[in-house]
Amino acid sequence: MKSSPRKSSLIALGTLSLLLLSPAVHAGKTLDAVRQQGRVTCGVSTGLPGFSAVDSKGNWIGLDTDICRALAAAVLGDAGKVRWTPLNAQQRFTALQSGEVDVLSRNTTWTLTRDASMGLHFTAIAYYDGQGFMVPKKSRITSIKQLKGAEICVQSGTTSEKNLTDYFRAQGLKAKPVVFESYEASLKAFFSGRCQAYTTDVSSLASIRDKEVKTPGDYAILPELISKEPLGPVVRRGDDEWFAIVKWVVYALIEAEELGVNQDKAERLKASPDPAIQRLLGSADDSGRLLGLDREWAYRAIRAVGNYGEIYERNLGSNSSLKLLRGSNQLWNKGGLMYAPPIR
């Protein structure tokens, strides 16, 4: 049946009205509170080099902290407007659930239980990791299978503790987990010889070996991985607007690397003829209104901390003391898993 001109006009008018009205979504209670306080309260680790740790000048540095700075730049226009709240493994979820922090950006693994039953939302994967084991080289242990019957130091309240038990049970091997409540206590026990091995995410093992040991060459990280450990920032459930903002800030940093937009070039590339770059930087498209932000939200985030590749290399890769290869954290078009949905 053919529509009348009047009916077609009404439909077109209604569609236009929806497009004009849809961006005017309420900003959300977390964003309102952040703006009122003038800062983003970010939950970080108590000290994990490469992710979140205090440098010699008292500044928080690392991949996780850069995500918080990018968020503050996008939302408040100033990457320095972050309040840092150090949290151990036992404190982290309670602090987020209670509203003590606005976002948890602290080497935390995304699991079904955490995502579905704790009143939390994992936003995006910022680092693909896996659990491994570190041993003294003098032990001559070169494989996990040689840890049969060994005492293994691990921190309680972590996925590492559960993975350790599951793996050895599945392999029909017996090991003796030696569990400590604090990160510091577990390390002290391992380095004092209380355990034959220490287990956590491989990125953490590399950080520990680099920062906690006088002679890093005395310790080896075994080649096998026993788990998948996708890490990323977490927010409370019940505030979809804030969830979207945190998620898209991470995606913008990844998209920026793919498009060749870095910290130094961002200003000049505002004049780029590439529509994707125009949308990212807000020079031809105001995607920020859909998030309750202005059009330059992503531009400010990139200018503040750089794109994902710059963040990685500075904190974990070739420009850091850890020298971790990107591996799975390389962009999807370079053989890795890092992939951002399109900003359009």
DSSP H helices in the chain: 5-21, 29-37, 63-76, 92-97, 112-117, 159-170, 183-191, 202-212, 240-259, 275-281, 297-305, 308-315
Q: What is the pLDDT of residue 12?
A: 43
| Dist CA 193 CA 7 (whole Å) | 81
Question: What is the H or E stretch that residue 135 is in?
Answer: strand 131-136
pLDDT tens digits, 258-298: 999 999 999 999 999 999 999 999 998 888 999 999 999 99
Region 294-318: mean pLDDT is 97
pLDDT class of 14 with cuts at 50, 70, 90? very low
Residue 236 reports pLDDT greater than 90: yes
Identify the CA nearest to 232 among candidates 145, 343, 329, 107.
107
Q: Which amino acid is at 195?
A: C
250 SS3 class: helix
Task: Give the chain's mean pLDDT.
Answer: 92
Q: What is the pLDDT of residue 285?
A: 80
Q: Work out the percent of the chain whose per-residue pLDDT is above 70.
A: 92
pLDDT class of 13 with cuts at 50, 70, 90? very low
Question: What residue ranges do the domains of the chain occupy?
Answer: 29-128+231-325, 131-227
Topology match between the domains 29-128+231-325 and 131-227: yes
Q: What is the pLDDT of residue 26?
A: 54
Residue 110 reports pLDDT greater than 60: yes
Residues in the chain: 344
pLDDT tens digits, 42-92: 999 999 999 999 999 999 999 999 999 999 999 999 999 999 999 998 999
| Dist CA 85 CA 336 (whole Å) | 32
Region 8-16: mean pLDDT is 42
Q: What is the DSSP string of 201-247?
A: EHHHHHHHHHHH-S-GGGEEE-S-----EEE--EEETT-HHHHHHHH
Q: For the domain bounded by 29-128+231-325, which CATH number is listed?
A: 3.40.190.10
Residue 4 reports pLDDT greater than 90: no
Residue 5 reports pLDDT greater than 50: no
Domain range 131-227, CATH class: alpha beta
Q: Which amino acid is at 75?
A: V
10 Å Cβ neighbour count for 54?
17
Q: What is the pLDDT of residue 10?
A: 41
Residues contacting residue 7 through CB under 8 Å, at least 6 positions apart: none
Tokens at residue 330, please? 């390389």
